[in-house]
Amino acid sequence: MIFKFFLHAFTLKKKQQIKSIIINNHYLHTDTNSVLNISISHLKQLFKQKCLSVVDGHVCLIADCPICNNEKKDAKLYVNKTTGFFMCDKCKCTGSWDILRKFLSTQKSMEKLKELDILKADLRKEQDFDKKWKDMKENCRDIMELTTEEYNALLDNFSLPDVSQEDMSQLKCIYKETSKVLYFPLIGLENSVVGYKFIETDVKAEPTFPVSSVSGCVTYKQNTGKNDNTAVIVESIYDLLALVAQKSANIIICLPYNLKTLPQQLLPYMESFKKLTLWFGNDETSWYTARQFAKKLNEKRCYFVRPTDLQPQPKLAAEMGYNLKGILENAQAVWHKSITTFREFREEVLSDLQNIDKVQGVKWKRYPVLNRILKGHRRGELTILTGPTGCGKTTFMSEYSLDLAMQGVNTLWGSFEIRNARLARTMLQQMVELPLDQHLDNFDLYADAFEKLPIYFMTFHGQQTIKVVMDAVEHATYVHDIAHVIIDNVQFMMGTSDESKHMDRFWKQDDIIAKFRNFATKYNCHVTAIIHPRKERSEEELTTSSIFGGAKASQEADNVLIIQDKRFSSVRGKKYLQVAKNRYSGDLGIMMLEFEKSSLSYSSRLKQKSENTEKEKFLKITHTTKQINKRTDI
């Protein structure tokens, strides 16, 4: 009885620890109302019915705030036209479209007014950083307080461009001498401080606080005496200062999270600008990100500095002696009306040729054979994975996606068959390459590292309609800048009705594949869909024709991966991954899959003849944790 008691206590503790991953990690709640489900004209009409003025902005509708307008004059509410997310510039209330819809209701009964009062009391407000920033300033020195010698020494210590002390003070930055840290406030609506970025000597990273969903950015405004509605957007503080040093633009904005994500909370701050010039790096990843951000900011007002060797990012261009103002004058418009010419994308073709390795996509660390065959993981493609029941499709795909997420690929998992807790536990064990139940003492170390990975989970389970799933996927891609979506598996979106009518089920699957194909192209996001094969004899080898349904899945897919399991049909049979289709390079081939139970891993690395000691394994996972921390800049 005593043994059973301790066994139960140990099991309960283990479950609670595993559950903490799910609670603390990123979760995408599948609330269909998180995406605006009415037309913009209808939304405008709702404001007008409340006698509230409304203006159609670039990304948001800007209206008198129905929440605090009676209490605070000229309060403006910014409503995202894609998601319905709203933010008030005065009372700082934020929330979803569902909450706003209740405030826009035309009913004025006493019960309704009481309900609104309760709702107003519970409204989530943006965190006030003004007081925190004032407290920080007490332990730091203002830039203008430094002597000329101290300021020049600061520029040398941080390897900053030759920016004048007056221009640096425009950024309202402060310097902490004891720890050698330079803090830059993030400015939001109404010039409020909503967070900060900071840099340290000999450290390339530019950490941001808060670590997500901030509504401001580092902004430089030159004192010209006029209200300029044009801004240049860069990814780092060093790029911003390079432009400031050459007086290249009147308004320069540094994004809070570099190129990792563009929070929807920041979009209201950008509404006042009629022209935005995006100047990022000259690699293919930066080019793709620029196009993705331009869609979010409204392409019609966005311009690009095309990524070429003669137009690198501002910091490097300044070091090479280029005229930054001249480069900005040659920025090209993003939006074109239906027709284009080779001249418009000539530089893009040149950029592809100059950065051929990066055009090929993100390389896998654990699967070098896939790098040789597929060349890399690219945005905008559709991959189909199939294999016999029980062959380990989900286990393989979890490690496949984990590898990419550890390199900064924002990932959304839609597992309809397996609970998210079980999936996260598998991915965590694959990350640390150790059996978790035997290393619970280090669980917090592993879980902290896993939390920092850009992995999001959909909370669906069981049968779902394609409309509900696509609403969630599109919302996550917009809000969290998702680059890789995994659907496990497609059959769970085909419904249970009319199962006997096979043609109907084939048509449903073709419709699902078509929607994901269009989504991948439109949103420049890679989609990996797992599909079961047709029921065939175990001794027969699977082909692209073995995929369940019609031929549309294999036709539309850019890549077809098949797990072939010959262990039960042959004495010396092996399990391997076959690349049966590769639209990018045409290369086909196989990768042997050897499963290691202790790490739940299929990594095709050479197995060591002797087991590593516990100390060596601990040092290895500590190194992995540091690498993840470095990539996430936290």
Give me 379's structure tokens.
């945005």
pLDDT of residue 336: 61
* pLDDT band at residue 254 under the 50/70/90 scheme: very high
Q: What is the pLDDT of residues 504-554, one digit of tens each?
A: 778 888 889 999 999 999 999 999 999 988 876 556 788 888 888 768 888
Per-residue pLDDT averaged across 563-588, rounded? 87
110 versus 483: the higher-pLDDT residue is 483
Per DSSP bridges, beta strands 559-565 and 575-582 are: antiparallel
Q: Taking Cα atoms as reference points, which of 74, 26, 147 lies closest to residue 412?
A: 26
User: Do residues 450 and 434 touch, judged by C-beta distance below 8 A?
Assistant: no
Q: Taking Cα atoms as reference points, which of 290, 391, 397 lies closest to residue 347?
A: 290
* pLDDT band at residue 167 under the 50/70/90 scheme: very high
Q: How far is CA 522 from the centre of its chain?
A: 16
pLDDT of residue 364: 94
Per-residue pLDDT averaged across 557-565, rounded? 94
What φ, ψ does residue 273 adopt, rounded to 5°? -95, 130
pLDDT of residue 398: 95
Count the neighbouring beta carbons within 10 Å of the beta carbon of residue 621.
Answer: 18
Q: What is the pLDDT of residues 82-126, one digit of tens each?
A: 999 999 988 888 888 888 888 887 565 555 556 666 666 656 666
Q: What is the pLDDT of residues 19-56, one digit of tens each?
A: 443 334 444 433 434 567 777 888 888 888 888 889 99
User: Do residues 324 and 243 touch, judged by C-beta distance below 8 A?
Assistant: yes
